């Protein structure tokens, strides 16, 4: 009887997501904001609160985070990461400083304390590489001269995330200052060890995982990612980073194949993750935060535009391209919610979840739209000049 | 001509160059095998104003179309460079005894010493055809060898 209810509820949720996804596709926007809205509607205080399947959805959401970061790691190989770090450190640092600051400042102004400030810094910092990649591809910007700059910034951000997430997890664990320092040190040590191992011994891991049979490959990759994620969690490094590092360790043909196999699985559980975040957030609590979220979103747009312009100009790209680079960097999405999710789960500040939800809702929806709307304008201006 | 190569992290590679008439074009090689042919805007040279997405098969076909005349031209260049070596293009006529038969049955190399290096069919070059490659009327056979041996191949293809 119980299983039946869970199935009906889950089926309803997933089906609703499918319909919403189709709508988003037609409107040419990212489905992420719609998934969040669905979560808000199904959650406590929503129109149609669900109760029985919440445990399952919670585990599904965790899986979603692991799969999101695993597939992200699979996109890059270690050489690209190193090359990107070397060539774009300056642009990457400008990105970090300009875009982490608004979140941190707002959290401090609201009096949420330093822990929430670190979390909010992450929420405003990271561009959604998923949405941005889609914008670049949809608008035919992949061949553009500013695109390598944008992609390098995304790689830089993802690497920064690998360092940031364990630090955040340690801080959120709320240990004393000395204890916190030790936890952070352990976390960073673990990340470095795995990163070096991935760089130097990646091929052994690949040899272990490789299989001509897609079923075996899928099981091995998911199994390895989950196991490493679990161990990482135990070490306070956060499961997400563990999965990311497994993805980095795998490269070449194997990584493509694994990515192709994982995509549908990731799409399913990532959608569940967005719903879960929405479920946990009371829609009523977003409204008081809406004003702040909107201001923060506008500030973030300006800082990302500045970041893109700076990095593109360094690469010798003209005005129009600089503007496009900035616009491409605006979307926020999965990782900002991952970070907010971690903070909420650790009980950072009750208003952090709603603020992050509102903020991501605006930028995930508006980023791709802005790019689409502004494209003809930029072209016109470039033609005049 | 200078071809500029740029890495696109997470996507693949981009090769671009400027044509003599001043247009910039590029090929984006996706890791998935997809190829984009990109033409840049005259007024905003950083922007791709046209992107044509090609799958593996289409990209191969385009490459072959672009490459076909080049192979023949390169062969001609080659015979100009090497004294005593010529390449000739011999059409297979309707009346040729080898129209509709595998190329190997002509035993061209054994009998003359000249080599059939390519067969051009409907604008497509089939380089280094194997002996079981079936010839057809309308094909053009590219033969490399001495002037005498290539003439002998021409004779075989007409009279058997």
A242-260 per-position pLDDT tens digit: 888 888 888 778 888 899 9
The 10s digit of each residue's pLDDT in A85-142 is 777 789 999 999 999 999 999 999 999 989 999 999 999 999 998 889 888 888 889 9
Q: For residue A54, is pLDDT > 80?
A: no
Q: Give yes or no for a contact between A380 and A317, defined as CB atoms under 8 angstroms apart.
A: no
Same domain, B18 and B47: yes
Give the nearest partner residue to A143 out of B7, B44, B51, using CB atoms: B51
Domains of chain A: total:
1
CA distance A5 to A56: 12
Confidence at residue A92, expressed as pLDDT on a 0 to 100 scale: 93
Helices and strands counted in chain B (H then E):
3, 9
Last-in-domain residue among B78, B107, B127: B78
Residues of A within 8 A of B43 (CB-CB) are: 382-383, 385
Domain check: are B9 and B73 in the same one?
A: yes
Phi, psi of B151 (to 5 degrees): -65, -40
Q: What percent of chain B has pLDDT over 70?
A: 91
Cβ pairs A/B, distance under 8 A: 80
Please indicate, yes or no, whether residues B25 and B73 belong to a single structural domain of this protein.
Answer: yes
Chain A residue nearest residue B40, CA to CA: A144
Confidence category of residue A176, pLDDT binned at 50, 70, 90:
low
High-pLDDT (> 90) share of chain B, %: 16
- pLDDT of A217 reads 93
Evaluate whether residue A28 is within a structural domain: no
Both B34 and B73 in one domain: the answer is yes
The ipTM estimated for the assembled molecules is 0.73
Instruction: Identify the closest residue of chain B to A256 by CA–CA distance.
Output: B32
Instruction: List chain A residues with CB under 8 Å of B38.
Output: 142-143
* Average pLDDT taken over every residue of chain B: 84
pLDDT at B33: 82
| Whether the Cβ atoms of residue A237 and residue A246 lie closer than 8 Å to each other | no
Does A302 score more than 80 pLDDT?
yes
Among residues B37, B60, B78, the one where a domain terminates is B78
pLDDT at B35 over 80: yes
Residue A267 reports pLDDT greater than 80: yes
Residue to mutate among A143, A311, A325, with most B CBs inside 10 A, is: A143
B-chain residue closest to A72, CA distance: B10
The pLDDT of residue A336: 92
pLDDT tens-digit series, residues B98-154: 888 888 888 888 888 888 888 888 777 888 888 888 888 888 888 888 888 888 888
Confidence of residue A234 (pLDDT cuts 50, 70, 90): confident
Q: Mutate which of B42, B46, B54 to test chain A, going by most A C-beta atoms within 10 A?
A: B46
Q: Is residue A25 part of a domain?
A: no
CB atoms A318 and B32 under 8 Å: no
| Rg value, chain B, Cα | 21
d(CA A244, CA A195): 10
Please indicate whether, in this complex, the C-beta atoms of B48 and A151 are within 8 angstroms of each other: no
In a domain, A24, yes or no: no
Residue A192: Cβ within 10 Å count = 12
Is the per-residue pLDDT at A67 higher than 80?
A: yes
Interface of B with A (CB under 8 A): 6-11, 14, 16, 26, 28, 31-32, 36, 38, 40-41, 43-48, 50-51
Q: What is the pLDDT of residues A336-357, one digit of tens each?
A: 998 998 898 888 888 999 999 9
Q: What is the pTM of this model?
A: 0.77
| Nearest Cα to Cα of residue A336 among A197, A164, A149, A191 | A164
Sign of CA dihedral A20, A25, A29, A30: positive
Look at A80 and B32 and tell me if their CB atoms are within 8 Å.
no
Q: Classify residue A91: in a domain, yes or no.
A: yes
Asked whether residue A23 carries a pLDDT value surpassing 80, the answer given is yes
How high is the pLDDT of residue B138?
Answer: 84
Domain of B91: which CATH number? 3.30.70.1450
Domain count, chain B: 2
Nearest to A329 by CA among A144, A88, A133: A133
**What is the residue range of A118's domain?**
34-48+60-383
Q: What is the mean pLDDT of chain A?
A: 86
Question: Cβ–Cβ of B41/A142 closer than 8 Å?
Answer: no
Question: pLDDT value at position A177?
Answer: 61
Contact B9 A154 (CB under 8 A): yes
Domain, as residue range, for B33: 4-78
* Substitution target from B6, B9, B33, B53 for chain A, most A beta carbons within 10 A: B9
Residue A373 lies in a domain: yes
Cβ atoms of A209 and A201 within 8 Å: the answer is: no
Which of A31-45, A216-230, B43-57 is predicted with the least confidence, judged by mean pLDDT?
Answer: A31-45
Comparison of pLDDT for A186 and B2, the residue scoring more: B2
Q: Convert A123-154 to b/e letters by CB count within 10 Å (16 or more is b).
A: bbbbbbbbbbbebbeebbbbbbbbbbbbbbbb
Contact yes or no for A129 and B10 at CB 8 A: yes
Residues 6+ apart with CB under 8 A from B144: B75, B78, B79, B85, B86, B87, B114, B115, B117, B150
User: Region A22-29: what's the mean pLDDT?
Assistant: 84
Answer yes or no: is A344 within a domain. Answer: yes
Cβ contacts (< 8 Å) between A155 and chain B: which residues? 9-10
Domain boundary among the residues B78, B100, B133 is at: B78
Q: B29 and B65 share a domain?
A: yes
**Interchain contact, A142 vs B8, CB within 8 Å:** yes
Specify the higher pLDDT residue, A216 or A177.
A216
Phi-psi region of B113 (alpha: psi -120 to 50; beta: other; left: phi over 0): left
**Same domain for B55 and B106?**
no
B40 CB neighbours in chain A (<8 A) are 143
Residue B20, min C-alpha distance to chain A (Å)? 20
**Cβ proximity of A171 and A191 under 8 Å:** no
Question: What's the pLDDT at A278?
Answer: 86
Considering only residues A234 and A81, tell me which one the structure prediction assigns the higher pLDDT.
Answer: A234
Residue B54 distance to chain A (closest CA, Å): 13
Judge: B11–A146 Cβ closer than 8 Å, yes or no: no
Query: Smallest Cβ distance to B48: which of A83, A140, A320?
Result: A140
Residue A1, pLDDT > 60, answer no
Q: Say what the pLDDT of residue A195 is.
A: 74
Give the pLDDT confidence score for residue A87 in this predicted structure: 75
- CB pair distance less than 8 Å for A320 and B51: no
Choose the weakest-confidence range: A31-45, A113-127, A357-371: A31-45
CATH number for the domain harbouring residue A135: 1.20.1530.10
What is the biggest distance separating any 2 CA atoms in chain A, rounded to whole angstroms? Answer: 69
What residues of B are in contact with residue A324 (Cβ under 8 Å)?
46-47
pLDDT single digits (tens) A153-173: 998 898 888 788 888 888 887
C-alpha triplet B14, A135, A302: angle, nearest 5°: 105
B41 and B9, same structural domain? yes
Q: Which residues of B touch A256 (CB under 8 A)?
A: 31-32
Check whether B88 has a pLDDT greater than 90.
Answer: no
Q: What is the pLDDT of residue A203?
A: 80
Nearest CA in chain A to B15: A143
Contact B46 A317 (CB under 8 A): yes
């Amino acid at each position: 009887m119980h299983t039946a209810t869970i199935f009906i509820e889950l089926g309803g949720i997933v089906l609703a997501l499918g319909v919403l996804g189709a709508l988003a596709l037609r409107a040419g926007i990212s489905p992420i904001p719609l998934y969040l809205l669905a979560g808000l509607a199904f959650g406590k205080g929503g129109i149609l609160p669900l109760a029985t399947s919440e445990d399952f959805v919670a585990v599904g959401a965790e899986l979603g985070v692991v799969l999101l970061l695993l597939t992200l790691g699979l996109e890059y190989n270690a050489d690209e990461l190193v090359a990107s770090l070397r060539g774009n450190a300056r642009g990457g640092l400008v990105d970090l400083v300009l875009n982490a600051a608004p979140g941190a400042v707002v959290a401090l102004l609201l009096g949420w304390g330093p822990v929430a400030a670190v979390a909010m810094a992450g929420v405003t910092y990271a561009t959604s590489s998923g949405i941005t990649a889609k914008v670049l591809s949809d608008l035919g910007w992949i061949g553009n001269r500013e695109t390598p700059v944008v992609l390098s910034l995304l790689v830089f951000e993802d690497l920064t995330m690998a360092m940031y997430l364990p630090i955040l997890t340690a801080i959120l664990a709320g240990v004393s200052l000395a204890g916190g320092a030790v936890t952070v040190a352990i976390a960073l040590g673990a990340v470095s060890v795995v990163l070096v191992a991935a760089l130097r011994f990646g091929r052994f891991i690949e040899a272990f995982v490789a299989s001509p049979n897609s079923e075996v490959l899928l099981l091995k990759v998911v199994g390895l990612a989950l196991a490493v994620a679990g161990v990482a969690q135990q070490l306070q490094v956060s499961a997400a980073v563990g999965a990311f590092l497994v993805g980095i360790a795998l490269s070449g043909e194997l990584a493509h194949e694994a990515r192709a196999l994982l995509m549908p699985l990731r799409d399913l559980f990532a959608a569940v993750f967005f719903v879960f975040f929405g479920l946990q957030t009371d829609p009523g609590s977003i409204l008081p935060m809406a004003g702040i979220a909107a201001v923060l979103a506008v500030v973030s747009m300006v800082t990302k535009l500045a970041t893109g312009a700076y990095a593109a100009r360094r690469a010798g790209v003209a005005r129009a391209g600089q503007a496009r680079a900035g616009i491409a960097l605006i979307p926020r999405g999965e990782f900002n919610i991952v970070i907010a999710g971690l903070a909420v789960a650790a009980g950072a500040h009750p208003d952090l979840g709603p603020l992050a939800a509102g903020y991501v809702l605006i930028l995930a929806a508006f980023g791709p739209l802005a790019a689409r709307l502004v494209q003809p304008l930029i072209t016109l201006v470039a033609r005049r000049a | 001509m200078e071809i500029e190569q740029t890495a696109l992290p997470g996507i693949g590679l981009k090769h671009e160059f400027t044509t003599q008439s001043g247009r910039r074009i590029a090929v984006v090689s996706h890791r998935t095998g997809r190829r984009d042919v990109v033409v840049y805007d005259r007024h905003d040279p950083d922007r791709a104003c046209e992107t044509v997405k090609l799958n593996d098969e289409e990209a191969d076909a385009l490459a072959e179309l672009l490459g076909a005349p080049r192979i023949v031209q390169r062969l001609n260049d080659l015979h100009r460079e090497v004294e005593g070596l010529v390449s000739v293009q011999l059409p297979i006529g309707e009346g040729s005894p080898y129209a509709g038969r595998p190329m190997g049955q002509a035993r061209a190399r054994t009998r003359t010493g000249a080599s059939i290096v390519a067969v051009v069919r409907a604008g497509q070059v089939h380089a280094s055809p194997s002996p079981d490659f079936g010839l057809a009327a309308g094909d053009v056979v590219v033969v490399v060898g001495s002037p005498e041996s290539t003439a002998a191949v021409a004779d075989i293809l007409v009279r058997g």
